[in-house]
Amino acid sequence: MKIDPRDFRVTPGQKIQLSKRPTRIEPVYESDDDYKALQAQHVRKLAERQQLLYAHDRHSLLLIFQAMDAAGKDSAIKHVMSGVNPQGCQVTSFKHPSGTELEHDFLWRATRELPERGRIGIFNRSYYEEVLVVRVHPEFLDAEKLPLGGKHGAKFWHGRYRSIVELERHLHRSGTSVVKFFLHVSREEQRKRFLQRIDDPAKNWKFGPDDMRERGFWKEYMHAYEACLRATSTKESPWYVVPADDKKTASLVISQTILDTIDALKMRYPKPDAARRQELREIRRQLVDEAG
């Protein structure tokens, strides 16, 4: 099965029902050996594209991963990272905001971690938590000491969506391509993965009471995601809803999307001017003479 990222892209303004979006599709690989071959191919291509991104030095890439617990964000990020030079990539995981972060606007802590030109930045969760977790648990807003206090109706959330869209449009104009992945896992698959984390001592650390507590808000989270995806998927910074019940298929869909995004930038290696070519010829002559 050929991977076409457009199949998973959220059209700007599209009303989306996650219950009608698949969490599992026909595998994009024919066998385990075929998966390994495709993965190796993607890893090689990502390494090549990252080197080009770094050398071109006019663009950067920001990858945002959002999902319910146990959807496979960490493994997807690991797959992406395996093909890139760590010097050209940075991963930031966002947890509960600190006291200092709460003294600033909700985008502040994320903007400090944006990738430099020529680099790939990966956000494991992001500023989108402020329209997802915080929307499901609006009591968290009390700690943010906002001017509106406890007034957080539709107008409030619309304002936050607008702030996010405007930030991402600014980043796009400045050369940062923002690509956002929602790993769409089923409630049943999450149940199975939670059991695996409980039954495997090596994975116990991945599971806690909060995970089970948040599972109880599944319906509320789906509504929050649906509103978020509709309001913030744009032509410049799209959302992709990736079926995540099969981690292998999810990883291949994500890496193919990243490859297509980088290729669309139409980059090339810098060409030396006449002075630089002359300089290189002189240096080459010196090196050859050393062996003389």
Nearest one of 113, 258, 110, 114 to 181, comparing CA atoms: 258
pLDDT at 86: 83
Distance of CA 77 to the CA centre of its chain: 8
SS3 42: helix
Q: What angle do CA 119, 123, 126 make, to 5 degrees?
A: 140
User: Would you list the DSSP string of 57-104?
Assistant: -S-EEEEEEEESTTSSHHHHHHHHHTTS-GGGEEEEE--SPPHHHHTS
The tens-digit pLDDT sequence of the chain (292 residues) is 689 999 999 999 989 999 999 999 999 999 999 999 999 999 999 999 999 999 999 999 999 999 999 999 999 999 878 878 888 899 999 999 999 999 999 999 999 999 999 999 999 999 999 999 999 999 999 899 888 665 678 899 999 999 999 999 999 999 999 999 999 999 999 999 999 999 999 999 989 899 999 999 999 999 999 999 999 999 999 999 999 999 999 999 999 999 999 999 999 998 888 999 999 999 999 999 998 6
pLDDT at 1: 67
Q: Please give the domain boundaries of the chain with CATH numbers for all domains.
A: 5-290 (3.40.50.300)
Contacts (Cβ under 8 Å, ≥6 apart) of 42:
83, 252, 255, 256, 259
Three-state SS letters, 153-184: CHHHHHHHHHHHHHHHHHHHHCCEEEEEEEEE
pLDDT at 150: 58
Return d(Cα 174, Cα 60) in angstroms, integer.
Answer: 9
C-beta separation of 150 from 142 below 8 A: yes
C-beta separation of 106 from 130 below 8 A: yes
pLDDT at 190: 97
The H or E element that residue 275 is part of is helix 274-290
**How does pLDDT run across 278-290, given as a tens digit for each residue?**
999 999 999 999 9
**How does pLDDT run across 177-228, given as a tens digit for each residue?**
999 999 999 999 999 999 999 999 999 998 989 999 999 999 999 999 999 9
pLDDT at 264: 96
* Residue pointed to by tokens 């409030």: 156
Regarding pTM above 0.75, the answer is: yes
